[in-house]
Structure 1
Amino acid sequence: MGPAGKFQLRNFSLILVPVIVMAMYNGQYIFNAAKPNNQRCMVRECENTPPVFKTGEWKTWAIPDDPQKARCFRYANQEGQCKKESFSKDLMKCDSWLYEDYNSIVAEFDLGCQEWKRTLVGTIHGLGLMTALAFIGTLSDLCGRRYTFIVTSSLPSVLGIVRGLSNSYYMYLAFEYLEALVASGSYSTGYILDHFGRKKTITSSYLISATALTIMPFIINMGPFPTIMVLVAKMFISIVFSATYLYVTELTPTEVRHTMMGLSLFIGRLGKSSAPLSPLLLQVTPYLPYAVFSAAAWIAAALTHWTPETHNMKMPQTLQEAEHLEPGSSFLALQEHQLSCTKHEKTAEHKQS
């Protein structure tokens, strides 16, 4: 392919535009399924027509004072009237909610305290990305990468519009899945122009992300600092996500490279599908999600430490060459091994002749 020049830079810049847009597709569900800032139970015995979020004096005897309980519970009413004496002190779960704003699907589809339905959106999105691995590669081989790239870059816009017009929660889930499935086709290639080395990049990024997540529980009430730590963790784990694609291709020999890449992608998408369910851990303790993710990052950093560095190394062509990519091995050592193998093969051929 030769050295990078104007032609490569032009194509890279053009491809980068839809890839950036695809990144937006892959992150939109975080905002669309965000938890509303304020919500309360609908108390039909006392609501205005039409109902509004702001309450009257009846709130003191119809809704608990505790803001957390008020999101999901109300006091039972036995008489169907908006009188203080009609309400008991027995709590009952809400069956409908009112929201201060309607900027997410939680309010749009009245999901209220059904937290599993809110987090399921992210899981469905991840499943769409994972399913795409089964046929996007084959489709691009059959139809051509350019054609596949154009289709997978443009079709999600149509699916996204239809998803935005969904009139039910399950219709929304269906188009969330389809949009993620198609959009992932143009988001399967990444470029990292670093000279730091894959192993060092991945290990250090894991460590920084793990450190940020470990600190989180101790600064959770310190103004903007929790947000800063979350963004730091997100940035460095995103570096890991992109670098790992290249690292896997450099570690594995040609004869099993596609198989190992597919396996790695599958496991990665499996983790991505599970991650949106992590808010459910908050019901156990507010610190549990951070503990789980930080522990995973620490373990991954330790495991990566025992893998070989591929910087300035020739990509292995056979399993035998891959076995010599040991921690601490160098490009020269691999070249010497390849030269030794070549001499051995020539000697064997000479003896046979």
Structure 2
Amino acid sequence: MVNQRPAVELDPILAELGAFGRYNIVNYAFLLFPVYLAGIYGSIYVFEAPDINYRCHISECNHIENTSSWLTNVIPLVKDELSKCTRYPLRKNITVDNVTCSSEQFDTSKEEKCLSFDYLEDYSIVYDFDLGCQNWKRTLVGTIHNAGLFVSLPLTGVLSDKFGRKTALAVASLMNGVFGLIRSFAVNYEMLLVFEFLETALGAGAYSTAFVLAIELVGPKGRVFGNTIINVVYVFGLMSLSALSWQLQNWRSLLQIVYTPALLVFSYLWILNESVRWLLSKGRSDDAVKILRGAAKMNRVELPEELLAPLMEVQKVPLVDKEEPEVEAKPDSTLADAIKSKIILKRVVVCSFLWITCTFVYYGLSINSVSLAGNKYVNFMLVGFVEIPANFVCLLVLDKYGRKRTLIITYVLSACLCMSLSFLPKDQKWCSLVIYLSGKFSITVAYSSVYIYVSEVFPTSVRQSLLAVCSSLGRVGSTLAPLTPLLALYYDNLPAIFFGSLALIASVLVFTLPETINMPLPDTIEDAERLSRRKAEEEDA
């Protein structure tokens, strides 16, 4: 015997309310605040652990104030710059007491590793924790940061589906604020890593929860525009991170300023309304109807009673047996039920790979932008700014050409642009920058499309959980992305080759998924499976 809930259709009610009335705008304004903060937190490790200028500490010569007279005698040049990690040893016949730091006193045929360093800048953890010439430790911060997402997104998804969207959002934001602030007072490298992980593991789900709350707030016609607004606000957060870092020039001050506002989001427990879709999936129709009536009043529209009547029926008959054929019913699906469906399981695998590709290329291009010629803060802002037109292009093409076609084209374009970077001469700086920004543009369109597309192919009762599963598995890409600067040490074009190869594979996999343009959100597993059956029927026709 299977317990089921009577079928209800929410999209017609949302259409009657209007996609963006006063109620929707006010709620979106609240939801956009944690989205803005998420834009800052997502890449904060780039400016928390940047590479800085330093050189070997030369104890034999430090008594000579005019460093320009002896530095090149002691430290070798690498690509016309002083080496950060090696120095020339003293010749055997020279003692420390009679060193004048002339070129004749050092053996330039040999190099030895530096034992200590003189730091010329102090705004990075490299200075605070003495990480000179330990690039793996510096890049590990980004990997640990993104590794926390493997815990955060599934955990937040399950909590969100069980206890509600706004509860998950409030708790996750509180964790962001608490652990981010503690991290700013880290006294050693190990403490920083622990709280770097905890902050994302327990707090990074705030973005995905705010996204789901926003998407479930509007009908099919408003989803793409709502998604675009969310992504643009996220970009403003990204650009603000670079501007704040440029202004503050201190990683501890940066963390303290950006994480304090996250504590305010905990008040959403008393301010924000719960998702109507989630309330209906839990049989709480009275609460859902109350919110809908309040939204209608705020939007100054009248909701016909015939639209609300089915919701009230759910409250009167919350659970029925499947043997009662007179009631059209939908099962109260669980995550285990969804995974048992081969169609849903295939979508989880494919969507996860699409997400891996997006995060690897997206974050890889962002992280490596600070290594481009020019001001690293301006470069990072440019790479972020290009996402704004990309999101509006996404808004135009998704509803016109469909989700699948948009994804296929943008993945192929990303692959071509990334591959072409490996063939450009190094002196073509402006050409490289244009292609670099174009690559970021195309992968941003793909990333924005994936986020909304994945939310449309899974049923309501497990949407947040499966979205979190795909997003979490997809974070393999963002976890590996901080390591791409290390890959370039072995072969300059290796990151670009990885970016392009993954994008090509992803473009092929998109062909296996159904189109969801102008389709209502599936509420049950059967509704979600029907999308693929409709795709097969259209292909047969």
TM-score after normalising by structure 2 = 0.54
**2:42 maps to which residue?**
26
**1:309 maps to which residue?**
515
Indicate whether 1:16 and 2:32 are aligned: yes
Q: C-alpha displacement at 1:249, in angstroms?
A: 3.6
Q: Provide structure 2 residue ranges, at least 5 long, that are not aligned to the other structure.
A: 1-12, 216-223, 226-394
Question: Equivalent pairs: percent with the same residue?
Answer: 35
Contact 1:25 1:183 (8 Å CA) reproduced: no
Indicate whether 1:321 and 2:530 are aligned: yes
Indicate whether 1:42 and 2:57 are aligned: yes
Contact 1:307 1:327 (8 Å CA) reproduced: no
Equivalent residues in 2 for 1:273-284, closer than 5 Å: 273-284=479-490
**1:115 maps to which residue?**
135
How big is each residue's C-alpha offset from its partner over 1:251-293, in whole Å with a ceiling of 9 and x where there is no partner? 3466875664344223211221111111111111211111111
**SS at 2:44 equivalent:** helix
**2:406 maps to which residue?**
201
User: Distance in 2 between the 1:160 and 1:257 partners?
Assistant: 29
How big is each residue's C-alpha offset from its partner over 1:85-131, in whole Å with a ceiling of 9 and x where there is no partner? 54323211123222332232223322222121111111101111121
Equivalent residues in 2 for 1:79-228, closer than 5 Å: 79-80=95-96, 82-83=99-100, 84=102, 85-89=104-108, 90-141=110-161, 143-189=163-209, 190=211, 192-193=224-225, 194=395, 195-196=399-400, 197-217=402-422, 218=424, 220-228=426-434
Contact 2:157 2:468 (8 Å CA) reproduced: no
In structure 2, the CA distance between the partners of 1:171 and 1:205, relative to structure 1 (3 Å rule), is same
Deviates more, 1:264-273 or 1:192-201: 192-201
User: Distance in 2 between the 1:262 and 1:157 partners?
Assistant: 21
**1:63 maps to which residue?**
75
User: Distance in 2 between the 1:184 and 1:239 partners?
Assistant: 22
**SS at 1:40 equivalent:** strand
Q: C-alpha displacement at 1:301, in angstroms?
A: 1.8
Q: C-alpha displacement at 1:212, in angstroms?
A: 2.8
In structure 2, the CA distance between the partners of 1:263 and 1:180, relative to structure 1 (3 Å rule), is closer
**1:271 maps to which residue?**
477
**SS at 1:47 equivalent:** coil
User: Distance in 2 between the 1:263 and 1:140 partners?
Assistant: 13
User: Distance in 2 between the 1:283 and 1:328 partners?
Assistant: 51
User: Distance in 1 between the 2:136 and 2:537 partners?
Assistant: 46
Q: C-alpha displacement at 1:58, in angstroms?
A: 2.2
Contact 1:80 1:86 (8 Å CA) reproduced: no
User: Distance in 2 between the 1:303 and 1:251 partners?
Assistant: 15
Q: Which is helix-richer, 1 or 2? A: 2
User: Distance in 2 between the 1:33 and 1:295 partners?
Assistant: 29
User: Distance in 2 between the 1:221 and 1:166 partners?
Assistant: 41
**SS at 1:283 equivalent:** helix
**2:448 maps to which residue?**
242
Deviates more, 1:190-199 or 1:117-126: 190-199
TM-score after normalising by structure 1 = 0.80
User: Distance in 2 between the 1:182 and 1:228 partners?
Assistant: 38
Deviates more, 1:168-177 or 1:74-83: 74-83
Q: Provide structure 1 residue ranges, at least 5 long, that are not aligned to the other structure.
A: 334-353
Indicate whether 1:285 and 2:298 are aligned: no
User: Distance in 1 between the 2:166 and 2:520 partners?
Assistant: 29
User: Distance in 2 between the 1:287 and 1:68 partners?
Assistant: 22
User: Distance in 1 between the 2:518 and 2:492 partners?
Assistant: 44
**What is the number of residues matched between the two proteins?**
327
Contact 2:418 2:499 (8 Å CA) reproduced: yes
**SS at 2:88 equivalent:** strand
Q: C-alpha displacement at 1:19, in angstroms?
A: 0.7
Contact 1:29 1:122 (8 Å CA) reproduced: yes
Aligned letter for 1:61? N
In structure 2, the CA distance between the partners of 1:169 and 1:292, relative to structure 1 (3 Å rule), is same
**SS at 2:496 equivalent:** helix
Contact 1:308 1:328 (8 Å CA) reproduced: no
Q: CA RMSD in A?
A: 3.0
Q: C-alpha displacement at 1:28, in angstroms?
A: 1.0
Contact 1:251 1:315 (8 Å CA) reproduced: yes
